[in-house]
Amino acid sequence: MGDISTMPVAVGAVIGGLAVLVLAADRVVVAAVRVSQAIGLSAVLIGALVVGLGTSIPELLVSTLAAVDGRLDVAMANVVGSNVTNVTLVLGSAALMAPLAARSVTIRREGLLMLVAIAVLAAVLLDGTVEAYEGGALAFGLLVALYLLIRWSLGDAAAEVAVEAELEEMIAGTQGSALRELAVGFVAIGLTVFAANMLLQGSLAIGRRMDVGDGFLGIMLGVGTSLPELATSIAAVRRREPDLVIGNVLGSNIFNSLAVAGVAGLVGAGALSDLTTTAVWVMVAVCLAAGWFSHTGLRLVRVEGGVLVAAFLAFAIASY
């Protein structure tokens, strides 16, 4: 995509790119689920591998394209912004609608795994440079996380039932053979790449016009690419499935911190000049706060949800 020189065109590129990215990425996941079912993968494997990775497609594409373009600050700030948005705006908004109760095993296992992933990511970012080997280490961490998630899920019958129900709802209303879904999936992948590039270029153009840094742009991109998680969590609250809300946020942050940041580090290693250490510490702090809120009484109540949403607003204002 060529240079976007005017503000109206840039804004249109951002809005259009985000809309197409969200819709196309969702269709990629649906196609992948149908093909995976056709070749006999279990619900747990589909949930951990296909759905888990698939819901991070927007963040993955935006950060990878930014890193390839030499904008590592945008790539990593997108990860930081998405992680912060997930545990403040997404989790907080859901808790404001209804208190979120979670199984203790979810908080202990997936919650701790997310905090470890966040801590490793923070350690990589805080020295101001992302080396290729650090990106590789994060990507390897994803393999470890996937192994643990699958192992835990295979031993949890309740998780198997929940994943099967989620998958059935996800693909409801879609018809067609595995071959057709494979073709649709490839088309949708092409659209996601195009849309992610349109979103990125539009955002960079707006940044140039408003004279804001790559760190702020990346954080705002992180907010935008977290909108699917927000919509999913609100829908899960309405279906009275709080475990899906918390699992959605924990899984998204694990994949963002390891897969998205890892790939961006591998393809665009370099120095960080505009991503502030404050933003990284805020990411760590809000993840710890959300974990503490969820741990106390194994539920996230409306007051705590309000605190998290207020934290998001404060973070967005301070980032600017």
Could you read off the pLDDT of 222-250 as tens digits, one per residue?
888 787 777 777 777 776 767 667 777 88
Query: Which domain CATH number covers 265?
Result: 1.20.1420.30
Mean pLDDT (whole number) for 209-226: 80
Specify if 1 maps to a domain: no
> Which contacts of 314-317 are long-range, i.e. CB under 8 A and separated by 24 or more positions?
315/84, 315/88, 315/279, 315/282, 315/286, 316/219, 316/220, 316/223
Specify if 231 maps to a domain: yes
Specify if 143 maps to a domain: yes
Question: Phi/psi of residue 48, each to 5°?
Answer: -80, -45
User: Residue 298: is its pLDDT beyond 60?
Assistant: yes
Specify if 2 maps to a domain: no
Specify if 282 maps to a domain: yes
In terms of average pLDDT, the best of 13-17, 122-126, 180-184, 194-198 is: 122-126
Q: What pLDDT, on the 0 to 100 scale, is given for residue 148?
A: 86
Specify if 251 maps to a domain: yes
Mean pLDDT (whole number) for 69-81: 92
What's the sign of the alpha-carbon dihedral 231, 200, 19, 57? Answer: negative
pTM of the model: 0.82
User: Residue 260: is its pLDDT beyond 90?
Assistant: yes
Specify if 167 maps to a domain: yes
Looking at the structure of the chain, the number of domains it has is 1
Domain that holds residue 191: 7-319
Q: How many CA atoms lie within 13 A of 162 on its CB side?
A: 19
Name the DSSP letter for residue 302.
H
Specify if 305 maps to a domain: yes
Q: How far is Cα 294 from Cα 110, in angstroms, rounded to an integer?
A: 12
Q: What pLDDT, on the 0 to 100 scale, is given for residue 5?
A: 60
pLDDT in tens, 17-67: 778 877 777 777 677 767 766 666 555 556 556 666 666 778 888 899 899
Q: What pLDDT, on the 0 to 100 scale, is given for residue 187?
A: 83
Residue with structure tokens 């705006």?
89
